[in-house]
Structure 1
Amino acid sequence: MRIIATVAAALIGLALIASTQASDAGRLLLYPKSNDDWRAAYPVQMLTRALTLSGGNYQLQPGVEDVPKARNFLNLSTKHGVDVVWSMTSIERETEHLAIKIPLNRGLMGYRVALVRSAEPDMLASVASLEQLKQFTAGQMYVWSDTKILTSQGMVVPGSNYNTLFRMLVAGRFDFFPRSVTEVSQELARNAAMGISLDKHLLIRYPAAMYFFVNKQDAKLAADIERGLEMMLASGEFVQRFEHYYGDVIRELQLDARVAIDLHNPYLPADTPLCRRELWWADLCPIKQ
């Protein structure tokens, strides 16, 4: 009996040690894997820093495979293989998931410049209004959030594959390919040899926010992320990190010198904090939704 009791005590001790080690390691937190490391670098860095500041005990790790964003949101809902997703917000997404309402790239997701064919670099040079822009067609992935915004303007040619869209542009299937100012430099560098150039004239913009999203039952994780981001905002670190990643891009694209075409975003939730000035790169408060 003493031997049995001793063995039982030893097993209990090992279980307690394993439990303590697991607790010390923290919760494993899975985020979407991206084969394009440059896309994920900034949000992963912001997430890591926010959770460190909030005191949350987490270990961050990418998921197993790079899957479409819609699949990531489905997996988030079912708690399958991903715990946090970052993407442009919408009424539908905020209904189905828990959004941390601090725009990671300060609204730049809604600032778009156009990729055009190198043979026609000034195709959009005379455009000065939305009505004039509607005379041209834009290529977009049919599943992207901003596709709905542009579709509501009646000028989208949908595609089913991201890489194919660049070939469709070169082939003349549509006139221009609007891309976020946070992405266009890398995309241009990778596709310029195909005969693609950057339009220097237009800036298409609409209110948009890229948030972190978690499962609706994951309130503690949401609170930890929000607390850390708020601490970064209060200290100025948030803006410093944003400037580090996007400051040169904003200056190189000369956004202030471009003709701005403002679009309505009917999918933006009514309670988006547009008038909380410190969250945005530019003042969006006067823009009525």
Structure 2
Amino acid sequence: MRIICSFTALILVGLSFFAGAQVSDDARVLLYPKSSDDWRAAYPVDMLSRALALSGTNYQLRAGAEDVPKARNFLNLSTNHGVDVVWSMTSVERETEHLAIKIPLNRGLMGYRVALVRRAEPDILAGVSNLEQLKQFTAGQMYVWSDTKILTSQGLVVVPGSNYDTLFRMLVAGRFDFFPRSVTEVSQELALHAAMGISLDQHLLIRYPAAMYFFVNKQDTKLAADIERGLEMLLTSGEFMQRFDRYYGDVIRELHLESRTPIDLNNPYLPEDTPLCRRELWWADLCPVKAPKFLYDQSELE
């Protein structure tokens, strides 16, 4: 609980800074998606703010006026309506329709998933050691999430939900067996919903290659270049990793990923030009030269 409290305090300080900053006359105001989950937005907003401060262009960040679903944010981004930058997991479709800054903000850990389960069945996934065994259980996901497509493409049964908060109630009610969540999100989610009778599975680590990027409108090439320039400077100086570890280091270490049984999945929606061989961008080595099997199609392994 101490880790969660420290994480929350860090979020509140960061977002209060962004909200209170003054706009100079020559600054371009950039709108990012408003979110009711301040803890989820704090890290990308912090990284975006720092990258833009290093870019050489004067920007001022502000939250958008409405908290809307991610699909609507992407629609608004493409029409230049109410949002200038969005962060989300990448896909071929999203990179076709929008301009992606191809530096994974959470170092690929969006594709590292541990499961929330019912407290009454904490060991429901004990003994699962491969994908075929995992297919005997049902997962819950939002119907619009990229992860839903990835999981179903691997033959997993996914029970779709239309509302994020409802998924926790569906889990407790037995509508599905487990709720896979990113290792950068699950500790905070567990703390917020533990009173419902939810606990953390201690057995599995589901892995697939994934990247969370900043996206801008396809025509906004100057903004894309400025964000990329700032992020590259953070990588070079080591500040990128320092900030990542400040937000997520203790939370990730607490999950003991090394002692979990890995279940590796393919991600058929990952663009071919994802910079997997820039090893400094990723938490684990995903370069195809030394890639784990889940980076290849099954036909290539035969």
TM-score by length of 2: 0.87
For 2:244, the equivalent position in structure 1 comes to: 242
**Aligned-residue offset at 1:249:** 1.1
SS in 1 for 2:225: helix
Q: Match of 1:35?
A: 36
Work out whether residues 202 and 260 of structure 2, in 8 Å CA contact, stay in contact via their aligned partners in 1: yes
Structure 1: 5+ residue stretches without partners: 1-21
Q: Specify whether residues 132 and 52 from structure 1 end up closer, same or farther in structure 2 by C-alpha distance, changes over 3 A only.
A: same
- TM-aligned CA deviation for residue 82 of structure 1: 0.2
Say whether the 8 Å CA contact 1:25–1:59 is kept in structure 2: no
The answer for the alignment partner of 2:167 in structure 1 is: 165
In structure 1, the partner of 2:9 is none
Cα offset, 1:176, TM superposition: 0.3
Instruction: Report the equivalent of 2:201.
Output: 199
Task: Measure the CA separation in 2 of the matches of 1:46 and 1:282.
Answer: 21
- Is 1:57 matched up with 2:38? no
Aligned to 2:84: 83
Write the letter of the residue equivalent to 1:257: S
CA RMSD of aligned residues (A): 1.0
- Give the unaligned 5+ runs of structure 2: 1-22, 297-302
Corresponding residue number in structure 1 for 2:147? 146
Letter in 2 for 1:148: K
> Are positions 1:278 and 2:290 aligned together?
no
2:113 aligned partner, one-letter code: R
- Shift in Å, 1:23: 7.6
Deviations 1:188-238 (A, max 9, x none): 011111110000010001000000000000000000000000000000000
- Report the CA distance between 1:24 and its aligned residue: 3.6
Q: What is the rounded CA distance, in whole Å, between the counterparts of 1:154 and 1:175 in structure 2? A: 12
Rg larger for: 1
The answer on 1:120 being equivalent to 2:121 is yes
* Residue of structure 1 in register with 2:269 after alignment: 267
For 2:209 and 2:156, how far apart are their aligned partners in 1? 19
Distance 1:25 1:220 in 2: 16
Structure 1, residues 145-186: CA drift from partner, whole Å, max 9, x if none? Answer: 111001112310111111111111111110000001111111
Kept in 1: contact 2:91–2:271 (CA 8 A): yes
The residue that corresponds to 1:17 in the other structure is: none
**Could you say which residue in structure 2 is the equivalent of 1:253?**
255
State whether residues 28 and 59 of structure 1, in contact with CA within 8 Å, keep that contact through their aligned partners in structure 2: yes
Q: More displaced, 88-97 or 153-162?
A: 153-162
Q: Distance in 1 between matches of 2:147 and 2:62?
A: 28
Which residue does the alignment assign to 1:100? 101
Residue 137 in structure 1 maps to residue 156 in structure 2: no
Q: Give the superposition deviation at 1:73.
A: 0.1
Of residues 151-160 and 89-98 in structure 1, the stretch that sits farther from structure 2 once superposed is 151-160
Q: Deviations over 1:44-77 (max 9, x none)?
A: 0000000001111111100001100000000000
Letter in 1 for 2:170: M
Which shifted more, 56-65 or 209-218? 56-65
Alignment correspondent of 2:12: none
Runs of 4+ in 1 over 3 A off after TM superposition: 22-25
Residue 222 of structure 1 aligns to a residue whose secondary structure is helix
Distance in 2 (alpha carbons) for counterparts of 1:132 and 1:56: 52
> CA offsets per residue over residues 237-268 of structure 1, 9 Å max, x none?
00110111111011100011110100000000
- The 2-side partners of 1:58 and 1:25 are apart by 8
8 Å Cα contact 1:112-1:181 kept in structure 2: yes
Q: How many residues align?
A: 268
